[in-house]
Amino acid sequence: MKNNKSVIIWLLSGCFLVFVMVVVGGITRLTNSGLSMTDWHLVTDTLPPLTEAKWHETFDQYKQFPEYQKINIHNDFTLSDYKFIYFWEWFHRFIGRIIGLVFIVPFFYFLWKKKIDKATLNKCFVLLGMGALQGFFGWFMVRSGLVDNPDVSHFRLSLHLTFAFITFAYTLWVALDLIYPDKKQVIVPLRKIARYALIFLLLQIIYGGFVAGLNAGLIHNHWPLMSDGEFFHESIALEKNTWLERFTEGKSGVQFVHRTLAYFVVGLILFLYFKSKKYTLDSQQQKGLNALVLIVFIQFTLGVCTLLYSVPLWLGLTHQIVAFFLLTAMTYTLHRLSK
């Protein structure tokens, strides 16, 4: 680890910046700021408009697009309002630029100094590709809200969000490979359960993106049952024509899947925790499992509260932040059970 300390710090710094970017992305989504920048240039948009005349010009461009013409034009939307939503989208993209610089500049420095071994180098090339792909997904998402519908596709939003989580988890995994270079005997049954738990957690994150994109948290604000005291609300069957569409495009159906998956995630993590009692674990493995159980219950509680209070900004954002902590604990625990 000592020889790789600078590389580890670099990778963990990348994890932190991805975390910050997703948090700012959550604020951007919850404040409906994502469509405020209707055009984007790598160099000229590094800074926001610096003069009042430039602000008016940018605002006039925004007025040509569906979000203003179909929604904000009716809400006494002023230049001051526009500056607020513009800031969050600009800041989100600005952090993306910072992440690119933080990855690329040290990467070439470490190559020059020969501080990266071949195995880590291959993983870094994967990370480079993932970063570029994430930038494309962001553009792909925003583009969907600038044509006819003044809202981004919830499929594209979930893709952008979930891939950010995956990029974070993979970056952390690469760092953990360097922090813990020594191999140990794999506990195969626990690793298998942990893998299933990770899969269900990623499914839950995908559906969290669907819920956010469809604003599906603003309906059925009851728990443990949905509206009218029903476990499976009748509106699910009425929203779309097919069951696939009902569970991927209907607000009630998407919320039902998201709240149901939460039980599976909690159940699998508890199963992993109690199954681990049959084995002799080291301190790292035990701490990972303890953290996993604690965070999943915090996240479950936050999810219920976010639903009951109809997604206030601070609760929705906290729910997303703790999802990051849960994925961190899941990645760390799986790594310690695998290697």
Q: What is the mean pLDDT of residues 105-128?
A: 92
Question: What integer pLDDT is reported at residue 300 of this predicted model?
Answer: 98
Residue 190 CB partners (closer than 8 Å, separation 6+)? 272, 275, 276, 279, 337
Task: Look at residue 152 in the predicted model and tell me its pLDDT.
Answer: 84
**What is the pLDDT confidence band of residue 101, given thresholds at 50, 70 and 90?**
very high
**Cα distance between residue 259 and residue 269, in whole Å:** 16
Angle among Cα 120, 173, 117 to the nearest 5 degrees reads 10
pLDDT at 2 over 70: no
What value does the mean pLDDT take over residues 160-173? 96
Q: Is the dihedral of CA 224, 242, 210, 293 positive or negative?
A: positive
For 17-26, 28-37, 78-87, 237-246, which range has the lowest pLDDT when averaged over its residues? Answer: 28-37
Of 174, 244, 168, nearest to 205 (Cα)?
Answer: 168
Instruction: Identify which has the larger pLDDT, 39 or 215.
Output: 215
Residue 2, Ramachandran bin (φ over 0: left; ψ between -120 and 50: alpha; else beta): alpha
Q: Say what the pLDDT of residue 181 is.
A: 86
* Sign of the dihedral through C-alpha 159, 161, 162, 165: positive
Is the CB of residue 18 less than 8 Å from the CB of residue 70?
Answer: no
Distances 179 to 74, 142, 338 between C-alpha atoms, Å: 55, 37, 14
Model confidence at 50: pLDDT above 60: yes
Residue 302 has pLDDT above 90, yes or no: yes
Quick check: helix, strand or coil at residue 184? coil
Residue 191's pLDDT band, with cuts at 50, 70 and 90, is: very high
Go through 46-73 and write b for each residue having 16 or more CB atoms within 10 A of its CB, e for each that does not: eebbeeeeebeebbeebeebebbeeebe
Structure tokens at 201: 């957690």
pLDDT value at position 226? 94
- pLDDT bin (cut points 50, 70, 90) of residue 42 is low
**Model pTM score:** 0.92
* Mean model confidence pLDDT for the chain: 92
